[in-house]
Homo-oligomer: A and B are copies of this chain.
Amino acid sequence: MRADVFRANLEITRRGLALFSFGNASGIVRELGLVVIKPSGFSYDRLTPTDLVVTDIDGQLVEGTLRPSTDLPTHLALYQAFPGIGGVVHTHSRFATVWAQAGLTIPCLGTTHADYFRGPIPVTDPLEPAEIQSNYEWNTGQAIVRRMADLDPTEVPAVLVAGHAPFCWAASAGEAVELAAVLEEVARIAYHTIVVNPQVEPLPAALRDKHFLRKHGAGAYYGQKR
């Protein structure tokens, strides 16, 4: 588990999803109520598995000598609201961040998007000044949870925080970082698609669901038997 979170953090930098020490990955062991996360402002170059910080579900330090990522409260808010998830990844990947800064939902324009996300990638509402002043990172998590209220987090496992950057989640940190990489590609292709054709329509629902469901759920037939 610590190994999975460690590898997921390295994947953030290996796949170019963040500069310097930006971004972070975490995982949760539900039975023990323990969360493992990257230390704050820590360069990926010198990160080792033992540098990872372990806290309980309320963020109290359980193991480690370094400060946890400042974004820990956002991760905790997601773990508390979405009981089915096991890993969270936050990046500053370029085009996902562009859409987040633009305050725009990423429409589902192609099958690459639909293979992983069953609908548009939503963007949160801006925080109120009071929500920024105190408990900012926790309130960021609450803004995500509010935005996802009518959505199934296993069908749309990513969100854009307005003016900031994306968060992704999955069964594990390793799967969440794969989603983060796909999200960046999807964000990039969607960007260029609407530049070259501003009138483009979203993918028809039948095609979107076909692609999502051939990879997910009971009727999936993509990939190898597990």
Contact = CB atoms under 8 A, between A and B. Distances in A.
Interface stretch (A27-35, A76-84, A89-97): A89-97
B132 A98 contact: no
Interface in A98-146: 98-104, 109-112, 126-127, 129, 132-133, 136
A165 B121 CA distance: 20
A28 to B, nearest CB: 23
Contacts of A215: 41
Interface stretch (A2-10, A55-63, A192-200): A192-200
A1 interface: no
B95 A192 contact: yes
Given A20-B182, A100-B110, A224 B40 contact: yes
Nearest to A93: B189
Given A182-B19, A203-B163, A224 B92 contact: no
Given A97-B110, A101-B190, 12 more contacts: A20-B178, A21-B223, A41-B222, A66-B224, A67-B224, A70-B214, A95-B192, A99-B196, A136-B210, A191-B196, A195-B195, A195-B196
21 contacts: A22-B112, A39-B224, A40-B224, A41-B223, A41-B224, A92-B112, A95-B192, A100-B110, A101-B189, A102-B196, A103-B200, A104-B196, A109-B163, A110-B163, A111-B164, A112-B165, A126-B204, A126-B207, A132-B206, A133-B206, A133-B210
